Structure 1
Amino acid sequence: MTKSATSPDVSIVVPAKNEAENLPGLIRGIHDAFASTTHSIEIIVVDDKSDDNSLTVLEKLRSDFSELRVLTHPQSAGQSAAVHSGTRAAKAAFICTLDGDGQNPPSELPRLVAPLLAANAPAELALVAGQRVGRQDTMSKKLASKAANGIRSFILKDETRDTGCGLKSFKRDAFLELPYFDHMHRYLPALFSMNNWTVAHVDVSHRAREAGRSNYSNLQRALVGLVDLFGVAWLIRRRKKARASEAAVAQEHGNT
């Protein structure tokens, strides 16, 4: 049974901008997904300076769903900033994320977080990343995503087929140890691996957008993605050099 708690088992973080039409079904879906489980939850919607009636809709939803919390950005800061804000505010040790557009089915959330909550969960497991199957998007978006994922995988060697999927679960503390930068949400498998955490993958379903429109174009994604990609590659190389230096110092100390 889903119940409110001072320290919930799972915090679900939803970045949203101008998704007023999608939010009621999404919040209901998250609530229902955990209703038959023993896990207590909180739902944190981070409104990224919407200019539709999202805040009015969310205020009404709060009267029906006691587990719902609403955070607002004073100015639009993007999806990564919303995920970061929500995770910092979260009360649970384990976080789930999904996009506010309703294309990520909330019914996938319990399955996604299950590996982290399992009694025999490996201590080094920190991220479970969803990978979309049967993606319900336009052909141009699917082709652009496939190309971007191929380039990213080739350069970062992150062994991830689909980093653009909003469905993810992770350890809160491990996430907050990562270097924060804009668009970091697209590189979480590589960033967690960089910090010596284990990453697992789960295939998840995908739905067509029912209302509203995307806040990104294919060109926008490509331009910012190229810059970010090389930045992440630099971070990983720097971390490897730092570890090599630390190992050399440790070896030297061991010989004295």
Structure 2
Amino acid sequence: MESICIIVPIYNEEEAIPKFPQEFSEYFELTKLNPSVLLVDDGSRDRSLELIEKLCLEDSRFHFLSLEKNSGLSSAIKAGFDCARTDWVGYIDADLQTKPKDLLKFESYLNEFDLVLGDRSASRKDSLVKKLSSKVANSFRDFMLHDGVNDSGCPLKILRRDVAISLPFFKGMHRFIPALVLMKGGKIKQVPVTHFPRVTGKSKFNLWNRLLTPLQDTFAVWWMAKRKISYKIASSDLYEREDQQS
């Protein structure tokens, strides 16, 4: 049976953490993969780490990492990807605006695709400012990168771990995972998922880091795509000689 580790980056989400066992229960029960959850505390200043450690002691399917200081969402995701030892890695936000059970919709596509991600477009439950800023950022990203993705920032994703750890990481890269997978020659699939209003904690994003910064980052990813090295080997005697010598 193939295995999966779901990465949950956490920064000051003490109200949400006690809800995790119940939220993940249906996913644990119905998944066809061997699941575990890795809670990555990104230098929280509330009781998040205390509650995370308690949860991991009570349920062996939950594990944790604690980063030395607050390093940002992309760093927390990368730490999770690097430390997982599974065939697949997933990602979901701690705010529970998306639900783990929707990851079950992804599993039938895993044999064919390197990345399966959610699309919240039809059911987004955010403020008008969030919706508009995301729409502008997504439209600009697609115009520049041609990744064909409606909702690149959706916090529901499953990737092959070998693909995940091969991606170039930088601050804000979590918004560009589909484009980066395509840049590596991977295949991606979008699946509609349900989105819910935030009922715990506070959003860590504002107009600057939700719109202006992603627009700047899009140019960086566009530059990487244009400068990508690509080659195919026509012939070689390298391995033939090694076989003869052995």
TM-score (norm 1): 0.87
The question of 1:139 aligning with 2:128 is answered yes
Aligned identity (percent) is: 35
Which residue is 2:241 aligned to?
none
Contact 2:8–2:93 (8 Å) recurs in 1: yes
CA–CA distance in 2 between the matches of 1:38 and 1:217? 38
Q: 1:44 to 1:152 in 2, by over 3 A?
A: same
Contact 2:140 2:215 in 1 (8 A): no
**Which structure 1 residue ranges, 5 or more long, are not aligned?**
1-6, 252-256
The residue type equivalent to 2:31 in the other structure is: T
When structure 1 is superposed on structure 2, of 37-46 and 192-201 the one drifting more is 37-46
The equivalent position to 1:208 in structure 2, one of 189, 197, 200, is 197
Report the counterpart of residue 81 of structure 1 in structure 2: 75
The one of 117, 121, 126 aligned to 1:129: 117
CA RMSD of aligned residues (A): 1.7
What corresponds to 2:93 in structure 1?
A: 99
The superposition leaves residues 109-166 of structure 1 with CA deviations (integer Å, 9 ceiling, x where unpaired) of 12223321xxxx23xx210011103111111111111111111111110000011110
Amino acid at match of 1:130: G
Mapped partners of 2:221, 2:21: distance in 1? 33
Cα contact 2:18–2:51 (8 A) shared by 1: yes
Pairing of 1:33-112 with structure 2 (within 5 A): 33-112=27-106
Judge conservation of contact 1:26–1:106 (CA < 8 Å) in 2. Answer: no
Structural mapping, 1:170-185, within 5 Å = 170-185=159-174
Quick one: distance in 2 between partners of 1:217 and 1:75? 21
Q: Is the 8 A contact 1:34 1:110 kept in 2?
A: no
Question: Which runs of 5 or more residues in structure 2 are unaligned?
Answer: 236-246
Equivalence for 1:18: 12
Instruction: Return structure 1 stretches of 4+ with deviation > 3 angstroms.
Output: none
Partner SS state of residue 30, structure 1 = helix
Residue correspondences, number: 234
Moved more, 162-171 or 175-184: 175-184
Question: What is aligned with 1:152?
Answer: 141
**In structure 1, what residue type is equivalent to 2:10?**
A
**Quick check: 1:18–1:52 contact (8 Å CA) kept in 2?**
yes
- How far apart, CA to CA, are the structure 2 residues paired with 1:221 and 1:114? 32
Question: Deviation digits for residues 194-246 of structure 1, max 9, x if unmatched?
Answer: 1111111101001111111011102222232122100000111111xx22xx3
Cα distance in 1, alignment partners of residues 93 and 29 from structure 2: 20
